[in-house]
A and B are shown apart, each in its own frame.
Chain A
Amino acid sequence: MEEQKPRAARKSRLIVRLGSFLVSHSAFVSVICCVAGCIALLLLPVLAKNTYVSENALMPGSANPMFSNQDVLEANRFVKDIYEKRILKDGSGMEIARLIGKHMKDVGAEVYYHKFKYHNLRFHPLCFFSSTPRTAVLQNSSACILNGVSPVGIIRAPRGDGKESVVLVTPYNSENIKLNEALSLGLAYSVFSLLSRVVWLAKDIVWLAADSRYGEYTSVASWLKDYHNPVFSSDYGKIGIDMCFEKTENHVEDESSFDGAAYDDFKRAGTMAAALVVKVMDKERSERDRVDIYAEASNGQMPNLDLINIVHYLAVHRQGLHVRVGTFGFLLNSALLKHVGKTLQRLTRLAESLNPGWKLGVNSADFVEGTATLASSMYYQALGVPTGPHGAFRDFQIDAITMELTPRTSLTNNNGISSFLLRGGRLIEGVIRSVNNLLEKFHQSFFLYFLTAPNKFVSVGVYMIAFALLVAPLPIVAAALFSSTANARSSTAISNSKPTNSKPVTRSGSWNWLHSAKLVFLVHLWALIVSLLPYLISQVPHTNSTTSMLSWSLSSLLILYLLTRLTKSYVEGYQWEVLKSVMIAAASIGLSLMSIINFSTAQVGSILLVPMCLMVRPLKQPVQASFFLAALLKILNILLAVVAFPPASLAILKGCLRGFESINIGDFWEWSEFLWVWNSATYLFVALVHLPCWYLCVHILLHN
């Protein structure tokens, strides 16, 4: 016996021995991994690389822009025309749509009007993740259905094959048009008319002047849906555009000049290579004309990095614009971050003095800015809600971004606006020419990345390290807990079972985890029911968010009570260690699955979940450690149990950002409503992974 053991150990494979080594030192490994994961997350802004245009075919800025002052004059005239229509009280929306359509026709484009019906966004548990967006549900119910009309113009590439296109979108509110919206229409029009004259088009150009009366996203999404789902039934043309016009403008006499039938056909222009949503904004002004780029689409999907690269390259190096991406402003003033940045700067200086070959060059200010941008990038990806109308394109795998152009002068300053329009027009022309050079679609650059600056990014290969380090301890700790309880039982079984037959005891020992698994399964079932409850609650009329929230939580508790009562005899006789190990296993599976669907959600979720899962132990259980350590463990456990409760964490977050007076019971309901109507997988994560895990942790904490 004594000799056989070492031989057996020698025979076992290295990976098995390594695994057992990790399992036996699980506490140490998990602390190291968690700390390393947090540090890696913090260092991401330092590890960011400069962006580069990866696709050779794009060649941004290699051609001189053709957009001239003549086009600017044209844009100004158009803006004036549009803005004058605002005075018409009734049916001004139709008038504007018609004016845009007329101008499109005049430059030689194919024109039609896209009509769409507006549906309230609603929670459809069975439509979750389905390819059809919410607005696609065409029901005959007349409730909450209103019409929007978006003029669409298509320029056919003179020598192209008509199989590919580039889309330009300008949202405008047809009922109450603002000057900035008129300007964006004017800008798009002038670019569009320029493109109708050029000879180098290889892709068709589609200009969608999206009627954003009911939201920018809705109109773009419904147009895209109609674009990709052709309707062949004969009754499609029943509600023609002329009827639309008749309804709204009975007082207009020149109906005869408007041949509605010709504008009814839904015309298409091949697959879309890219889409640009252009908006002129009148926000805080800076020294230079500015472009804000919004790229996040639903569930953390991003457009190809090359699209952002060419916009950034052309804006900065050709047009001298200032480019911004989303940033959390409050983090820029954070003292803690500044301190971390300074420490890092000092550390890298020290490292460089030791070895001049290392060129780390960490700058404290850059670090803070990078962290603020990274946090915003990660937050909007984790939220899973698109940051603009470009999100609708990503649902069809089309690369799209929103460009918000802000002039440095006021919108009424003619000179300032003219130079702004010139730059903006040249930027859009340059981007379109660059995309026009592309063959088929963007494929060369990254799809999975975080931005830390407009020209800096963290690629998937780097940022997944932090997540992997955070998640790695979970299976190790689960295995350690399981093996320790199995060992304990078998040793007790051996000591106890000498007089009797040992077989039944060992069997019950090895299958003991099933009891815990039953409980974990029940809790997950409960979570599933809880996640579906909002569908029922939202059907109840005349409720506000507070009552909805209260009914949601009460019904959840009721269901939990019923479930535990019904299955009381079914789930008994488990050990808390085994329960914890099964719970950790379930959580790690959930996190890993989520990292595939939406990485950022998993990343953010793991920061809360992993420490809670690893540290949890019954409060009444004595700890074999110093008093101080034991107390610390208990405090941390309670703290995490409070913070990780989804409504509580939301309330804390909101309190930190907007002051604690603003917290409301209905907040969580509103937030979940926001997530589910946008089909965000984050809702599923919170309901199906986070909530059961939190409940089980509390269950273990209160274990006797």
Chain B
Amino acid sequence: MASMSQRLKPSWRNHAIASHLLIFHLVMASTLLPSLTSAIPSFSSTMHNNNWAVLVCTSRFWFNYRHMANTLSLYRTVKRLGIPDERIILMLADDMACNSRNTYPAQVFNNENHQLNLYGDNVEVDYRGYEVTVENLLRVLTGRHESAVPRSKRLLSDEGSHILLYMTGHGGDEFLKFQDSEELQSHDLADAVKQMKEKHRFKELLIMVDTCQAATLFSQLQSPGVLAIGSSKKGENSYSHHLDSDIGVSVVDRFTFYTLAFFEKLNMYSNASLGSLFHSYNPNLLMSTAFYRMDLYQRPLDEVPVTNFFGSVMKTIHTDSPYRVVSSQPKAKESIFLADDKVKEIDKRNIKEKRCSFHLWMEFLQKKLVEKDDSHIIVMYGFGSMILLLIVSTWLSA
């Protein structure tokens, strides 16, 4: 469930001290009230309440090392930004780390400086080798598995899920090649996404594709809530970024390289928006034009944090009493009917928040801080007492 709660009211964001306080607030919330946060019921069916990532490398063979490195880099990034392993479906068509041509056995790098081994501990590959097929990808997306398939290989998303689908490999006009033997066509992808929508398997879906002519893969998409970004337009190639002359192969593609460069500056508390990610692509550096398909997506990109998809950061709703299951159930039903009426919903939430004693205390603290000018004094006293506390504790432990 949500690991943290975050509030992004505009008036708060502007205030520097307030943002400091926010972190303080977060830490307090997560440490003092673990039982409260973990027990929040998913009362709202349309709220964003979990994150999934499906990362696919579709090509085999040693010379496609960079595709595996791309996917593993993305894997590392989304994991770093907070999506747990159990919610990442990682599909790797070949095992470059154990390829006998690899100069660094059991290691995969995405940069020639060899600083970061992407294939270290805790890499959980869900589909590997010849399991990476179009059929399996479509099964994962649509959730039509055979009964024997373990849960770890399934995309167990729901209507509140934000899903990141990242694919890399060799593609062409309206297709993406899988394994040198089959293709995923834009129709297949669109159909799978449509089925997912009908089966309430996602709230929002971000499809990111790094192949040649990636934009053509999105041409058939129709389902609302889908955002798509590709590395190149129709007729353009996507190029690799650089060659590692030690390993003897190209280790990363340009689009992915610059995506990673964007994310390297961020941590899971960052507020960078999808819009800023999309505008960070420089066609001269990419040697292709990044393509975005936004017409199916309702929210303005500048207000959607990237961590909504690449991390696991979401709004968390606090209820004043977590155990009022009986009373919350009709509300959940009600909220389905009011799904599109967001104002009412927010009002309701505010009422709920006010009822919570913790929130009342917080409100009081906040009022004191914001409305009066001597806020800095309080902060100073706060720090002073913390230092005192620290000294006392070290003295005690020594």
Contact = CB atoms under 8 A, between A and B. Distances in A.
B103 A200 contact: yes
Contact of A202 (B101, B105, B250): B101
B72 to A, nearest CB: 20
A346 to B, nearest CB: 39
B247 interface: yes
A62 B66 CA distance: 14
B100 A201 contact: yes
A59 B105 contact: no
A62 B100 contact: no
A159 interface: yes
A436 B105 CA distance: 16
B63 A56 contact: yes
Interface in B217-273: 243, 245-250
B232 to A, nearest CB: 18
B61 A439 contact: yes
Interface string B52-67: 0000000001110000
Interface centre among B61, B62, B243, B248 (most CB of A within 10 A): B248
A277 B103 CA distance: 27
Contacts of B250: 62
A57 B243 CA distance: 14
Contacts of A64: 245-246
A91 to B, nearest CB: 41
Contacts of A416: none
Interface string A133-175: 0000000000000000000000001111100000000000000
A656 interface: no
B375 interface: no
B99 interface: yes
Contact of A436 (B98, B101, B245, B249): B101
A199 interface: yes
B328 interface: no
Nearest to B180: A439
Contact of A62 (B102, B105, B245): B245
A115 interface: no
Contacts of A512: none
B248 A200 contact: yes
Contacts of B102: 199-200
Interface string B142-163: 0000000000000000000000
A433 interface: yes
Secondary structure call for the A interface: loop
A668 to B, nearest CB: 52
A199 B243 CA distance: 19
A62 B248 contact: yes
Given A63-B246, A64-B245, A159 B105 contact: yes
A694 B370 CA distance: 111
Contacts of B100: 157-161, 200-202
Interface string A426-455: 000000010011010000000000000000
A201 B63 CA distance: 15
B105 A433 contact: no
A151 B57 CA distance: 45
- Kindly name the residue among B62, B102, B243 whose own CB sees the greatest number of chain A CB atoms within 10 A: B62
A63 B245 contact: yes
Nearest to A439: B61
A161 B100 CA distance: 9
Contacts of A433: 248
Contacts of B99: 202
A159 B99 CA distance: 8
Residue of B63, B98, B99, B250 ringed by the most chain A CB atoms within 10 A? B63
Given A62-B248, A63-B248, A200 B101 contact: yes
Contacts of A160: 100
B332 to A, nearest CB: 54
Contacts of B62: 57, 202, 437, 439
A199 B245 contact: no
A62 B249 contact: yes
Interface string A48-76: 00000000110100111000000000000
Contacts of B63: 56-57, 59, 437
A395 B327 CA distance: 85
A64 B248 CA distance: 7
A58 to B, nearest CB: 8
A348 B245 CA distance: 43
Nearest to B60: A439
Contacts of B101: 200-202, 436-437
Nearest to A160: B100
A437 B248 contact: yes
Most buried by B among A201, A433, A437: A437
B271 to A, nearest CB: 41
A444 to B, nearest CB: 12
A59 B248 contact: yes
Interface in B75-132: 98-103, 105
A64 to B, nearest CB: 4
A525 to B, nearest CB: 53
Contacts of A63: 245-248
Nearest to A202: B100
A62 B62 CA distance: 13
B227 to A, nearest CB: 32
Contact of B105 (A56, A157, A199): A199
A433 B101 CA distance: 9
B249 A59 contact: yes
Contacts of A436: 101
A62 B245 CA distance: 6
Contacts of A157: 100
Contacts of A59: 63, 248-249
5 contacts: A62-B249, A63-B245, A159-B98, A159-B100, A436-B101
A-B pairs with lowest CB-CB distance, top 8: A63-B248, A159-B100, A202-B100, A64-B245, A160-B100, A57-B63, A202-B101, A62-B248
Given A62-B250, A200-B103, A437-B62, 6 more contacts: A57-B63, A62-B248, A63-B248, A202-B62, A202-B100, A437-B248
Interface of A: 56-57, 59, 62-64, 157-161, 199-202, 433, 436-437, 439
